[in-house]
Amino acid sequence: MSELVLALFEPDIPQNAGTLLRACACLGVKAAIVEPAGFPVSDRAFRRAGMDYLDHVDISRHVSFAAFETWRAQAGRRLVLLTTQAATDYRDFAFRPDDVLMVGRESAGAPAHVHAAADARLLVPIRPRLRSLNVAVAAAMVVGEALRQTRG
């Protein structure tokens, strides 16, 4: 199993969170949820999207971004934020096996203090005049590249 972690910053759509955690289970990637989430993690839609895969993923929950940052500092892990506000193409980035890849809220992305804490900010390039990909699609693309590079 990879030591790569996919972190969900205050997720607000249970179906996307369930899909992301299902991908983590299937790919052997650990997961972290930075609360508060916009839904109860026991919510039926969340459990349905994750199906029985949620029992096969290592999920750590953090009550706040500050608590997450304490955990990350103690673990000595690099924070790599996936954001539409980045300049670095994810395909041009050198991933490490113990990186924490973070996605922001579906409705608002990540706030300034999360951007400031990130060691790197990456972009999935898309065609002009289009806003963004679905967070689960973007995360899957970047996780796939990180696993390819690190042979995770």
pLDDT at 43 > cutoff 60: no
What is the mean predicted confidence (pLDDT) over 110-121? 98
Superfamily assignment of 5-150 in CATH?
SPOUT methyltransferase, trefoil knot domain (3.40.1280.10)
pLDDT at 38 > cutoff 90: no
What is the mean predicted confidence (pLDDT) over 105-124? 96
What is the mean predicted confidence (pLDDT) over 85-105? 97
Residue 132 is predicted with a pLDDT of 86
Residues composing the chain: 152
Residue 49 is predicted with a pLDDT of 60
Distance (Å) of CA 82 to CA 14, 30, 45, 88, 141:
19, 17, 25, 10, 11
pLDDT at 27 > cutoff 60: yes
DSSP 8-state secondary structure symbol assigned to residue 10: S
Lowest-pLDDT range, 14-18, 27-31, 90-94, 124-128?
14-18
pLDDT at 45 > cutoff 90: no
CA distance 107 to 123: 17
| Percent of the chain whose pLDDT exceeds 90 | 78
CA distance 120 to 114: 11
In the chain, where the domains are located: 5-150
Q: How confident is the model at residue 131 (pLDDT cuts 50, 70, 90)?
A: confident
pLDDT at 53 > cutoff 60: yes
Give whichever of 57-61, 94-98, 129-133 has the largest mean pLDDT.
Answer: 94-98
Mean confidence (pLDDT) of the chain: 91
